[in-house]
């Protein structure tokens, strides 16, 4: 098979965009809002992010629900967007996961073509555009509301962005949460947040916020010691994105639960 | 109406090949060498902004000699091809063989159908899970595709570099030894010393995680040279 050669300026206004490339090839993932009964589609629930002294921490519970059923117990909702940012999802799970995959590919595609990464602001804006493209579905009750955070290499600090269903992008100063349990998670974070949390303290606070949300909201799954299911905890600092390993999250979760009993 | 002169196809192809070879011979060569945990690619390149070596996909690197705008457009086309394939299927379904074939098709078509052939040669390197799974492909201006083992040179001094490395190469080199050997081969062929900041070097290394491509800094090159 022959390659489609890129032209000069006249052919393309978005030379580096992977999403445009897929659209031109007619391979853009799409859903027909009229054809889907949204009560039968899994929903991802609570995710949150908070700033730490050196960057940001992002945590997601593992539950996906379908109406009043538990659809999945071990779902991943926190993903690396690229080496220095993380994205977490709430809302219609299938659409949200496709959106994350598209976002990850887009960032890497841009980096390979241009030789440098997009700025954190640029990544946040791009994610807003992806959410905006899903608006017809959102209006049918299948909303995708991501949470985005990362380490801003140009000014050396962590940043958090939230979105609404129409793609509106808001920068948060201290912490943010989205999904069904977000009200309770935020209420908890409001009480404990300081701007000098260490990475360990932030992870513990975030897990406690998930526990608080799971106490009040049936769609949020807290740490499940019997089944060995724990929240996903990601940290983004100057050194980049990394996830805490399961043993460490288990240890912190057990401490949190013991403190509460 | 005037009739065009008849040119026998042999003559036409020969003229085109000669034209392309002349263009390629003007540029500096690129050398790829396998070492214990990956593949090193080295190019003499005084420019800090215009690269000859680039990342295509998780395990795959690209290098081009000749006209910059021509191999740059092929680099971009290759990244697009790989990213779309990896997105629609799976990441491990993107491999160097498929990519090298697509490049060969494209260059072959350009060579016969376009008014002017591309004055470039390409090198595709893929690091495998084991050294035996490493792949080195060379694609010539007319779409001729070849695969190499251990090392591969493209560009004007291809034959001289191959000659030097045939004597010196040994399996299981460390990265530092591979850097010193590659630069030593260039300097032996050109009979001069080239300072460390005038090299462009990158590796695809199986120890680097999912994205195995990494550029080497002038300091790393300097350190490797001083060790040998």
Interface confidence, given as ipTM, is 0.92
Distance from CA of B4 to the nearest CA of A (A): 31
Q: What is the pLDDT of residue A16?
A: 76
Q: What is the pLDDT of residues A224-237, one digit of tens each?
A: 999 999 999 999 99
Name the band, by pLDDT with cuts 50, 70 and 90, for residue A5. Answer: confident
Distance from CA of A245 to the nearest CA of B (A): 17
CB contact under 8 A, B73 and A112: no
Name the band, by pLDDT with cuts 50, 70 and 90, for residue A86. Answer: very high
Q: Is B154 exposed, middle or buried (0-12, 13-18, 19+ CB in 10 A)?
A: buried
Phi first, then psi: give them for residue A189, nearest 5 degrees.
-65, -35
Q: Which residues of A touch B77 (CB under 8 A)?
A: 3-6
Q: What is the pLDDT of residue B2?
A: 75
- Whole-angstrom Cα distance, residue B66 to residue B71? 7
Q: Which residues of A touch B211 (CB under 8 A)?
A: 108
What single-letter DSSP state applies at residue B8?
A: -
pLDDT over 90 at A39, yes or no? no
pLDDT over 90 at A104, yes or no? yes
Question: Helices then strands (H, E): number in chain B?
Answer: 6, 10
Phi first, then psi: give them for residue B76, nearest 5 degrees.
-60, -45
User: What separation in angstroms does the CA of B97 have from each of A107, A204, B35, B136?
Assistant: 25, 48, 20, 9
Place of tokens 């445009």: A20
Q: What is the pLDDT of residue A1?
A: 61
User: What separation in angstroms does the CA of B190 have from each of A172, B40, B159, B161, B186?
Assistant: 58, 20, 13, 10, 6
Average pLDDT over chain B, rounded to an integer: 95
Name the band, by pLDDT with cuts 50, 70 and 90, for residue B210. Answer: very high
Domain range annotation of chain A: 41-260
B106 closest CB neighbour out of A3, A15, A108: A3
- Whole-angstrom Cα distance, residue A42 to residue A70? 9
CB contact under 8 A, A3 and B74: yes
Name the band, by pLDDT with cuts 50, 70 and 90, for residue B1. Answer: low
pLDDT over 90 at A41, yes or no? no
Rounded to an integer, the average pLDDT of B57-70 is: 96
Angle between helices A246-260 and A199-216 (to 10 degrees): 60
- The answer to whether residues B203 and B213 touch, using CB atoms and an 8 Å cutoff, is yes
Name the band, by pLDDT with cuts 50, 70 and 90, for residue A8. Answer: low
Q: Which residues of B touch A3 (CB under 8 A)?
A: 74, 77-78, 80-81, 102-103, 105-106
CB contact under 8 A, A6 and B76: yes
Q: Is A216 exposed, middle or buried (0-12, 13-18, 19+ CB in 10 A)?
A: middle
Residues 6+ apart with CB under 8 A from A193: A50, A174, A175, A205
Rounded to an integer, the average pLDDT of B129-148 is: 96
Provide the 10 A C-beta neighbour count for residue A157: 15
Q: What is the pLDDT of residues A48-58, one digit of tens each?
A: 999 999 999 99
Name the band, by pLDDT with cuts 50, 70 and 90, for residue A31. Answer: confident
Closest CA to B45 of B161, B216, B163, B165: B216
Residues 6+ apart with CB under 8 A from B12: none
pLDDT over 60 at A11, yes or no? no
DSSP labels, A156-203: TEEEEEEE-TT--EEEESSEEEESTTHHHHHHHHHHH--TT--HHHHH
Closest CA to A129 of A42, A16, A20: A20
Place of tokens 């073509």: A113
CB contact under 8 A, A1 and B102: yes
Name the band, by pLDDT with cuts 50, 70 and 90, for residue B11. Answer: very high
Name the band, by pLDDT with cuts 50, 70 and 90, for residue A9. Answer: low
Residues 6+ apart with CB under 8 A from B59: B95, B96, B126, B127, B128, B204, B206, B212
Q: What is the CATH number of domain B9-227?
A: 3.60.20.10
DSSP labels, chain A: --------TTT-S-TT-HHHHHHHTT------GGG--GGGS-EE--EEEEE-SSSEEEEE---EEETTEEEESS---EEEEETTEEEEEEEEHHHHHHHHHHHHHHHHHHHHHHSSPPPHHHHHHHHHHHHHHTHHHHTTT--EEEEEEEEETTTTEEEEEEE-TT--EEEESSEEEESTTHHHHHHHHHHH--TT--HHHHHHHHHHHHHHHHHH-TT----BTTTTB--EEEEEETTEEEEPPHHHHHHHHHHHHHHH-
- The answer to whether residues B203 and B41 touch, using CB atoms and an 8 Å cutoff, is yes
B83 closest CB neighbour out of A2, A6, A109: A109
CB contact under 8 A, A18 and B54: no
CB contact under 8 A, A6 and B81: no
Distance from CA of B41 to the nearest CA of A (A): 17
Which of B84, B91, B105, B112 best tests the A interface by mutation, with the highest count of A CBs <10 A? B84
Q: Is B78 on the interface with A (CB under 8 A)?
A: yes
Domain range annotation of chain B: 9-227
Q: What is the pLDDT of residues A192-202, one digit of tens each?
A: 999 999 999 99
Tell me which chain B residue has its CA closest to the CA of residue A27.
B88
Q: What is the pLDDT of residues B77-86, one digit of tens each?
A: 999 999 999 9
B79 closest CB neighbour out of A5, A102, A112: A112
Q: Any idea which of A59-63, A81-85, A131-135, B61-65 has the lowest mean pLDDT? A: A131-135
Bridge partner residues of A152 (DSSP): A157
Tell me which chain A residue has its CA closest to the CA of residue B213.
A112
Q: Specify whether domain A41-260 bears CATH 3.60.20.10.
A: yes
Taking the CA of residue A117 as centre, how many other CA atoms within 13 Å lie in the half-sphere pointing to its CB?
17
pLDDT over 60 at A82, yes or no? yes
Catalytic residues of A: 45
Rounded to an integer, the average pLDDT of A137-159 is: 91
CB pairs under 8 A between A and B: 58
Q: Is B77 on the interface with A (CB under 8 A)?
A: yes
CB contact under 8 A, A22 and B86: no
Name the band, by pLDDT with cuts 50, 70 and 90, for residue A10. Answer: low
User: What separation in angstroms does the CA of A12 have from each of A5, A9, A20, A109, A228?
Assistant: 12, 6, 10, 16, 50
CB contact under 8 A, B106 and A109: no
């Amino acid at each position: 098979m022959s390659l489609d050669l890129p032209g000069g300026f006249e052919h393309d206004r978005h030379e580096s965009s992977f999403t445009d490339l897929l659209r031109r090839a007619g391979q853009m993932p799409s859903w027909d809002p009229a054809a889907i009964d949204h009560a039968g589609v899994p929903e991802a629930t609570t995710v949150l992010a908070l700033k730490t002294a050196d960057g940001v921490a992002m945590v997601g519970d593992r539950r996906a629900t379908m109406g009043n059923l538990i659809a999945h117990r071990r779902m991943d909702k926190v993903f690396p967007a690229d080496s220095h940012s993380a994205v977490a999802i709430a809302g219609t799970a299938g659409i949200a996961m496709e959106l994350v995959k598209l976002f990850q590919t887009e960032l890497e595609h841009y980096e390979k073509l241009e030789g440098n990464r997009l700025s954190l602001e640029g990544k946040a804006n791009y994610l807003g555009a992806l959410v905006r493209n899903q608006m017809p579905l959102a209006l049918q009750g299948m909303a995708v509301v991501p949470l985005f955070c990362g380490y801003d290499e140009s000014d050396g600090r962590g940043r958090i962005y939230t979105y609404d269903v129409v793609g509106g992008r808001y920068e948060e100063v201290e912490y943010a949460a989205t999904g069904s349990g977000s009200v309770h998670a935020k209420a908890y974070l409001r009480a404990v947040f300081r701007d000098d949390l260490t990475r360990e303290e932030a992870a513990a606070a975030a897990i406690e916020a998930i526990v608080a949300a799971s106490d009040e909201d049936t769609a949020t799954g807290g740490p499940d010691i019997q089944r060995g299911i724990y929240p996903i905890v990601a940290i983004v600092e100057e050194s980049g994105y990394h996830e805490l390993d399961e043993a460490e999250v288990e240890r912190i979760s057990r401490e949190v639960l013991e403190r509460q009993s | 109406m005037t009739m065009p002169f008849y040119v026998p196809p042999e003559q036409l192809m020969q003229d085109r090949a000669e034209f392309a070879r002349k263009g390629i011979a003007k540029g500096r060569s690129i050398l790829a060498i396998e070492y214990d945990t990956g593949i090193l690619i080295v190019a003499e390149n005084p420019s800090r902004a215009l690269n000859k070596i680039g990342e295509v996909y998780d395990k795959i690197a690209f290098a081009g000699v000749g006209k910059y705008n021509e191999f740059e457009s092929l680099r971009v086309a290759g990244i697009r091809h790989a990213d779309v394939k990896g997105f629609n299927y799976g990441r491990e379904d993107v491999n160097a063989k498929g990519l090298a074939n697509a490049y060969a098709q494209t260059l072959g078509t350009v060579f016969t159908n376009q008014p002017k052939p591309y004055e470039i040669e390409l090198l595709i390197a893929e690091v495998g899970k084991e050294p035996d799974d490493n792949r080195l492909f060379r694609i010539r201006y007319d779409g001729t595709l070849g695969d190499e083992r251990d090392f591969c040179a493209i560009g004007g001094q291809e034959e001289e570099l191959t000659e030097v490395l045939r004597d010196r190469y040994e399996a299981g080199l460390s990265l530092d030894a591979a850097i010193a050997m590659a630069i030593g081969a260039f300097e032996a062929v050109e009979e001069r010393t080239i300072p460390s900041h005038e090299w462009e070097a990158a590796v695809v290394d199986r120890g680097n995680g999912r994205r195995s491509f990494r550029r080497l800094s002038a300091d790393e090159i300097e350190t490797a040279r001083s060790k040998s």
